[in-house]
């Protein structure tokens, strides 16, 4: 039979007798632990048992405190799951409605319950480590390993040492701690899994027409309907329409669609601000810049003089292109730094975006207000499966 001395392991302490494979197989865990420490050149100076007297009131009290923290983690995780799945709590409510206060609590409650769950679970683990896992004091000679791998004797002794550490932690006989820890970790795990899954529970297009991705809130709902440009003032019921004289040369303002049929309808007025493809950048170019504009084929009459309207939804991944640089006439998306040229039909000139910003056809009606001449002639925002361009 081949002796283990024929296969020296990396970092082996010299002078330690090497057992044969047969002798190694007959060793129990305690013998393997002692052998492993000798082979590694480890001297255990002190390895005290945290509870030399078993079953004392102090030991049981420490176990109950740890179980309490794991229970708090489970309850907080359950609260996170309930909040996440609570019907209609997450749906937007305007600030000037009686339900806004409840809606405003949704995100803080999510954060608080998830945070408490993670914190309580961590405190429970730390307390268990401090109260029940032995704190050893050991001295070990360091070795460079000589670039050699581990022999079978090293593998078996390290497994024995790990098993011994688990046994000395007394976790095997603490069913209360194990049950509460499993409950806390399990509920928190369900919450972490449920968070991304919850986005698939409710279809954002429920109740919408099948071609909703191809149209925006600027689409007239019936022939002859006038869709005005409306300024956002912070109050959904306050209607302020936009005139050409409201913008200085070189200015940009975000506008939203408004219909006279929505006047007095609080829900419809609020929905216009919340629909993601509604925001439009209304830009007034400076006269000297307006003379240098390059228009897109088929969209030569989409502007009104020096005024141009582009979607605020970036064609890369849908972030809001909320920055306008007056001196260079560039529209900037802060998410991934795409830049679009307002003088050349919103064409991308920098960054990951590859398509121009969709342009809204606009004019001024007899009352002197900006109105949309129709919806965008192409889908706004990033690509989707059915889009061909």
Per residue in 157-196, pLDDT (tens digit) is 677 666 766 666 677 777 877 788 888 888 877 777 766 7
165 touches 157 (CB < 8 A): no
**Tokens read off for 85:** 């799945």
Q: What is the pLDDT of residues 77-120, one digit of tens each?
A: 899 888 887 877 777 676 666 777 888 888 899 899 989 999 99
Check whether residue 160 and residue 273 sit in a common domain: no
Q: How many CB atoms lie within 10 A of CB 27?
A: 17
The tokens for 292 are 């240098």
Q: What is the mean pLDDT of residues 141-168?
A: 65
Claim to verify: residue 184 and residue 225 sit in the same structural domain: no
Q: Is 370 helix (H, G, I), strand (E, B) or coil?
A: strand
Q: Is the predicted pLDDT of residue 144 greater than 70, yes or no?
A: no
Tokens 């829900």 correspond to 267
Question: Per-residue pLDDT tens for 329-366?
Answer: 999 999 999 999 999 999 999 999 999 999 999 999 99
- Strands 323-325 and 330-332 come out as antiparallel
Residues 224, 275: one domain?
yes
CA distances from 9 to 14, 78, 146, 162 (A): 11, 49, 9, 19
33-54 pLDDT, tens digit each: 777 777 777 766 676 778 888 8
Output the average pLDDT for the chain. 83
**307, 282 in Cβ contact below 8 A?**
yes
The structure tokens listed for 389 are 């361009």
> Which residues span the domain enclosing 225?
212-372
What is the spatial distance between Cα 35 and Cα 12, in angstroms, rounded to a whole number? 11
**Shared-domain flag, residues 184 and 82:** yes
Task: Say how many domains are in the chain.
Answer: 2
The domain boundary residue, chosen from 140, 173, 198: 198
**pTM exceeding the 0.75 threshold for the entire prediction:** no
Are 72 and 148 within one domain? yes
Tell me if 175 is assigned to some domain: yes
Residue 97 CA neighbour count, 13 Å, CB half:
16
């Amino acid at each position: 039979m081949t002796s283990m001395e024929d296969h020296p392991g990396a970092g082996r302490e010299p002078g330690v007798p090497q057992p044969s494979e047969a002798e190694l197989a007959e060793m129990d865990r305690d013998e393997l632990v002692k052998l492993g420490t000798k082979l590694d050149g480890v001297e255990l100076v002190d390895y005290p048992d945290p509870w030399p007297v078993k079953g004392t009131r102090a030991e049981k009290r420490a176990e109950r405190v740890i179980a309490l923290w794991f229970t708090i983690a489970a309850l907080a995780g359950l609260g996170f799951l309930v909040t996440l799945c609570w019907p209609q709590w997450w749906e937007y409510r305007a600030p000037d409605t009686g339900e806004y206060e409840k809606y405003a609590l949704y995100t803080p409650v999510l954060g608080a319950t998830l945070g408490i769950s993670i914190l309580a679970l961590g405190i429970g683990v730390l307390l268990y480590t401090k109260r029940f896992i032995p704190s050893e004091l050991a001295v070990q000679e360091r070795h460079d390993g000589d670039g050699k791998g581990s022999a079978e004797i090293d593998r078996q002794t390290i497994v024995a040492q790990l098993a011994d550490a688990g046994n000395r932690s007394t976790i095997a006989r603490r069913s209360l701690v194990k049950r509460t820890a499993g409950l806390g970790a399990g509920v928190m795990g369900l919450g972490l899994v449920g968070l991304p899954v919850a986005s698939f529970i409710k279809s954002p297009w429920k109740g919408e027409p099948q071609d909703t991705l191809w149209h925006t809130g600027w689409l007239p709902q019936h022939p002859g309907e006038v869709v005005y440009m409306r300024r956002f003032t912070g109050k959904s019921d306050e209607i302020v329409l936009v005139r050409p004289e409201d913008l200085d040369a070189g200015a940009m303002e975000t506008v939203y669609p408004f219909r006279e049929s929505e006047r007095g309808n609080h829900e419809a007025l609020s929905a216009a601000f919340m629909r993601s493809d509604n925001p439009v950048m209304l830009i007034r170019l400076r006269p000297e810049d307006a003379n240098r504009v390059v228009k897109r084929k088929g969209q030569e009459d989409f502007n009104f003089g020096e005024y141009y309207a582009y979607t605020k939804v970036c064609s890369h991944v849908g972030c809001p292109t909320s920055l306008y640089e007056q001196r260079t006439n560039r529209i900037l998306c802060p998410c991934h730094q795409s830049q679009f040229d307002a003088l050349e039909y919103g064409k991308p000139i920098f960054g990951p975006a590859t398509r121009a910003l969709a342009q809204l056809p606009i004019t001024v009606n007899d009352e002197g207000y900006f109105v949309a001449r129709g919806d965008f002639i192409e889908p706004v925002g990033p690509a989707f499966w059915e889009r061909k361009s």
